[in-house]
Amino acid sequence: MIPIRYNVRSLVVRKTTTIATALGVGLVVFVLSSSLMLSAGIKKTLGVSGQDDVAIVLRKGSDAELGSVLDTSAVNTIVGGPGVKHDGAGKPVGVGEVVVVGALEKIGAVGVANVQIRGVTPDGIKFRPHTHIVAGREAKPGSDEVVVGLRIRGRFKGTELGETFDLRKNRPVTVVGVFADEGSSYESEVWVDLDTLRADYGRAGSLSSVRVRLDSPAAFDVFKAAMEGEKQYGYLALRERDYLEKQSQGTSLFIGVMGTLISIFFALGAMIGATITMYAAVANRQREIGTLRALGFSQGSILVSFLLEAVLLAFIGGAVGALASLGMGFVHFSMLNFASWSEIVFGFEPTPGIMMTSLGLALGMGLLGGFFPALRAARVSPVAAMRG
């Protein structure tokens, strides 16, 4: 009932206080939004690599490819399982790979980072339809040429196109290509020829995992039953999607929990700031409020008006904070993925849901913070309009 322009102009008139309070709310929203975006980014990076019709087989009892050891002969058993797709030539579509962690020297920072290194077969890139070479070429099978993911390139010594680094002492490998995979975790890996890696790392005769392409996503259950049914094999079969989700769970949960905890603290602090501001506003405008009451505006309309003012204040701050957090979309974050003990580069993933949540937080802060001051405003007696 009381026109909104009254609230808007009142906010503008006390510029400094309004800006300080809005800034506080904005910071809160920024932090919450960013951590939610990082959490989503982690899920996306790890999840995007997964295909619906791909199943991955690991050693039972292992959590990740890194901790799984299969015998080479396992490949035949696994790709011979029910539901596995066959290509035009009648060959089953599947790849067996070895995954290890190697220490690469950082450029521009002191020390080494643990990077995931994958021993692949020539089918490795073909098996993954979203992976393609963006610079250079594929490595020659059986050679000591390697391709590196987009996020590896140039971040470590010897990982630029054409450079070499040591896979182990006196065993240099040359980077002949760079590949991209839609921002997935593969982009933080180095891909070496399977046999070269096995020789260099003493893993002859073993694999970390076998991936197969199924006839259809529905064929998974039969496949899984067959793989896990034979107890002596000791296999664990997962949809690739589920496997990757498990990989990201710990890390993304960690970030999500930390971010939420921190935001709650922040929110409390900023809310108190907003409350103090609104109380001061009410105190300063006693005469105005008394006048409005004298003119006949009801207590309810005063309450609503001041509540609206608080919400408006919070919303402005929140909108600025949310917009600023969108800028994080250009930032990349290198973090240890707890499941694989290697570093993966994550991005911040803005989603409409996150923006809604963040703005919702701002609104909530305005409502909660502004409630009691608005109540006090509504209680101002019309007599306050008179002198004294």
Q: How many CB atoms lie within 10 A of CB 6?
A: 14
113 touches other proteins (CB under 8 A): yes
Shortest distance (Å) from residue 276 CB to other proteins: 5
Q: How many CB atoms lie within 10 A of CB 359?
A: 18
Spatial distance between the Cα atoms of 357 and 32, rounded to a whole number of angstroms: 9
Q: CB nearer to other proteins: give 254 or 371.
A: 254
User: Binding segment for other proteins among 46-54, 149-157, 309-317, 331-339 (CB under 8 A)?
Assistant: 331-339
> Which of 89, 231, 330, 352 is in the footprint of other proteins by CB under 8 A?
231
Spatial distance between the Cα atoms of 365 and 274, rounded to a whole number of angstroms: 8
4 touches other proteins (CB under 8 A): no
169 touches other proteins (CB under 8 A): yes
297 touches other proteins (CB under 8 A): yes
User: Binding segment for other proteins among 81-89, 148-156, 188-196, 270-278 (CB under 8 A)?
Assistant: 270-278
232 touches other proteins (CB under 8 A): yes
Q: Is 350 exposed, middle or buried (0-12, 13-18, 19+ CB in 10 A)?
A: buried
The DSSP element (H or E) to which 104 belongs, if any, is: strand 94-105
54 contacts 216 by C-beta, under 8 angstroms: no
φ/ψ region of 368 (left if φ > 0, alpha if ψ in -120 to 50, else beta) reads alpha
Shortest distance (Å) from residue 110 CB to other proteins: 9
387 touches other proteins (CB under 8 A): yes
324 touches other proteins (CB under 8 A): no
280 touches other proteins (CB under 8 A): yes
> Which of 195, 260, 279, 368 is in the footprint of other proteins by CB under 8 A?
279
340 touches other proteins (CB under 8 A): no
Nearby residues of 181 by Cβ (< 8 Å), 6 or more positions away: 48, 49, 128, 130, 131, 132, 149, 150, 187
Shortest distance (Å) from residue 234 CB to other proteins: 5
176 touches other proteins (CB under 8 A): no
- Window 52-81: contact mask with other proteins (x via CB under 8 A): ------xxxxxx--xxxxxx----------
288 touches other proteins (CB under 8 A): yes
187 contacts 52 by C-beta, under 8 angstroms: no
Shortest distance (Å) from residue 250 CB to other proteins: 8
C-alpha count within 13 angstroms, C-beta hemisphere, residue 180: 5
> Which of 90, 108, 162, 296 is in the footprint of other proteins by CB under 8 A?
296
Shortest distance (Å) from residue 9 CB to other proteins: 4
15 touches other proteins (CB under 8 A): no
In 84-150, which residue ranges form alpha helices assigned H by DSSP? 123-127
Nearby residues of 45 by Cβ (< 8 Å), 6 or more positions away: 183, 184, 185, 248, 344, 345, 346, 347
